[in-house]
Amino acid sequence: MTQGDGPIGSGGAVDPEQYSSDDGPSQVTFTLSRDLQKRLDRYLGDRIPWLSRTSLQRLIAEQAVTVNGRHPKASTKLRKGDVITVILPPPPSSDLPAEDIPIEIMHEDADIIVINKHDDIIVHPARGNQSGTIINGLAWHLRHSGGGLSDVGAEHARPGVVHRLDRHTTGVMVCAKNETAHWRIGKQFEQRTTRKRYIALVHGNVEPLADVIDLPIGKHATIRHCNAVRWDDTGKQAVTLYRVLEQYGDFTLLEVELRTGRTHQIRVHLSHLGWPIAGDDMYGGRHIEVRDLLTPEQSRGDRRAVVLGRQALHAALLGFTHPSTDQDVEYRAPLPEDMKNLIQILRDRGPAKQPKVNGRVLDANSL
């Protein structure tokens, strides 16, 4: 298969439906018609979007990629006239243990499955843990209903996973059931054309009522598994918009819109500005107990009882273009009980303010 280097979406990328490796590895060749001055691994990431950058770097290291007949490095800069040949491996097995795990399905068709993710469940197997995840639960569901998940990402035990939510973040997620759907929705996330809105309850009285947070994010310098705002060359652009929904004095309810998709982006940005998410003890928040909300006269029973023991972050809305119909679709997930209860306690405690802010699309009451 030979490809040019035209724009993605106009023939420049390899269509997963054209990639068949039933008889073993396939080969694809690209010829650059202009001087891109782009790293090889980044270029291939644009042209073969269903393979992760790590997978592509592994192919380069294993000499499955040539540039002008020579074995390059991942960092090789490409120029006009370069001929890149890639030997694509056969898709790995996506077999994972199917487990009868309750999964709340909001929508399902031949291409996608949309779920309302609950608290305390990870999206896919990782670090040797092959069970107890959403993917295991979906494998069970699809085994009994017919169909399967996209093989994209199967080499990392995450077939069908287009995007992820943190273990303790709830809300809307979409998974792909075939390679074409995966590629098309994945490109929307990459090109930032999806619509993602979250509900977050944070510590503090947030001002101004709406703002754009444009702060680079990278790995935390000393704390493993955490990210932080980084101004050095490790920081990547991260843009978050927030709008105040309700104010309770020592807490604020926010609508948050993502323009980029860095790991822990909302949690890092809000914490950096002094408004950590309630319950998020990884990024400066704290678990909420009855004594944090009510006076002894107002409360009954154990004042140390936990009202919220995880970050109060909920993916409330996800919108994108359907991969087959090209129709605009949008899905909204209701607030989970722990966040709903906490918001109601704060309202009852009073005073609760609901300022008017332009650009909001979410209403906590309707969720």
Q: Which spans in the chain are helix H? A: 40-47, 53-61, 134-145, 179-190, 265-272, 337-349
Q: Are 195 and 358 in contact (CB under 8 A)?
A: no
Annotated catalytic residue 166: yes
Give residues with Cβ within 8 angstroms of 138, minimum separation 6. 103, 113, 115, 149, 160, 175
Give one DSSP letter per residue of 8-46, joined into a string: TTTT-SPPGGG---TTS-EEEEEE-SS----BHHHHHHH
Rounded Cα gap, residues 33 and 49, in angstroms: 20
- Cα separations (Å) of 354 from 122, 199, 247? 34, 15, 7
Residue 254 forms beta bridges with which residues?
200, 244
What residue has token string 């396939």?
26
Pick the catalytic residue from 82, 111, 166, 292: 166
Question: SS3 for 162?
Answer: coil
Residues taking part in catalysis: 166
